[in-house]
Amino acid sequence: MPPQLIPPFLVAALGTVTGILWLVTRRDNPSLIFTTAGFYLIALGLAVHVLVIPYDENIAVVGSNVLYGIGAASLTYGLIKRSHQPGGVAMLAVMCIAIAFGTVWFAYISKSSAGQTYVINIGFSALLLFGAWRTRQLARGNTGDQLLFWWFLAVGIHYIPRAYLMATNVSEADTLPNGTFLSVIQLFPMAGLILLFGVITIIATGLDIINAIQDERDTDALTRVHNRRGLERLLRTTDWASKLPVSVLICDIDHFKQVNDRYGHAGGDQILEHFAGSLMANVRPNDIVARLGGEEFVVIMPATELSGGVAVAERIRSSNARMGDDSIAPGYIVQCSIGVAELQTDEDLWSAIRRADELLYQAKQQGRNRVVSSAGLSNLIKFPETALKKA
């Protein structure tokens, strides 16, 4: 293989690898299709540039720069999609048009090699820094997210001084022996940077797969909240002392055995799904909801005093009024009892969960369908005491 074809070949090979990864994980990583497209476009741009296709230097320069720009825009959009941020297409399109216009201007009108160098380098910098800005929350994400974000930021910044250094040394670059691997690397250092990005993308995707497997293992298959294993992992890996005050809610569906006896396990499953959905709808994104087993759930609320936990518990209790008419148990009134405790300084969180469970038992003893807290607060029943009664 001619040495000048090694960079485009390696970049295209990375595109093939990420394309395979997209086929395997496209449900969880739809952004990889844009990354794959970006690799192929940049590989094609490298090939056009080093082979001077179609044997006209100006056309080759314009074509390769346009391919570089669209390829970098595709990589950037892939990162934006990964971060679940909306939009970005219009700005990326404007930048690509600017790169194309600038390249044509300096190739055919002002005929400046330095101008062409400025256009592609500043264009690359703008595209990558725009992606880093739009996805800056990834800097606080998992390891894969952080690697991708910092690549975009560092490489985007590096293209600014590189534009000046290359533009002021065009004549020296033009004297490099053509066809040598050294000349290709010096003329197209983007190939090495893109290869690094490809390796980071593969690492990030691998970490995504591992996290997805772990999440599936730690998620309750029916209700899609954390299961007990997932809860134990979160409790083990979180510094709860830094999140005080912490409120703990133990929630239990009243008369659930009678539900299974009357509507069967399918009806019971629907009620569990309904109840878990109500829990998720009434807590914050950073709160933890887990199914301890059967019809018992726990909610852990960082930075929440006992009074706040009681307020949320009451909101949960009063929001589970009835099942829909299209369910197996149409019109069934869902009632629950809740115990609320606040984590004490130097207390183990499992100890707070046990105290909340004892308060839940008191709520059951006092007639069910109520909230009992460690402060002795309780709420009166607002629904009929018989859980099987239709509204």
* 3 CB burial (10 A radius; 0-12, 13-18, 19+): middle
Which long-range contacts link 154-157 to residues 24+ away (Cβ below 8 Å)? Answer: 155/128, 155/193, 155/197, 156/124, 156/125, 156/126, 156/127, 156/128, 156/129, 156/131, 156/132, 157/125, 157/129
Catalytic residue among 232, 295, 296, 385: 295
- Please name the helix (run of DSSP H) or strand (run of DSSP E) that holds residue 299, with its range, or none: strand 296-301
305 is an active site residue: no
Distance CA 5, CA 208 (A): 32
Q: Give which of 210, 233, 230 is closest to 220, Cα–Cα.
A: 230
Q: Under 8 Å CB-to-CB from 214, ≥6 apart: which residues?
A: none
Tokens of 208: 């995504």
Distances 139 to 122, 123, 242, 381 between C-alpha atoms, Å: 23, 23, 21, 47
Q: Scan for tokens 């301890």, then name that residue.
A: 292
Residue from 67, 81, 1, 63 nearest 38 by CA: 67
Residue at 76: amino acid letter: T
In the chain, what is the greatest distance between 2 CA atoms, to the nearest angstrom?
Answer: 90
Give CA angle at 372 (337, 384), nearest 5°: 45
Integer angstrom CA distances of residue 240 from 231, 234, 340: 13, 10, 17
* Token pair listed for 61: 């320069």
Residue 229, classified by CB atoms within 10 Å of its CB into exposed (0-12), middle (13-18) or buried (19+), is: middle
How many C-beta atoms surround the C-beta of residue 271 within 10 A? 22
Spatial contact of 95 and 103, defined as CB atoms under 8 Å apart:
no
Rounded distance between C-alpha atoms, residue 89 and residue 81, angstroms: 11
Q: Which residues sit opposite 249 in a β-bridge?
A: 299, 340
Name the residues annotated as catalytic: 295
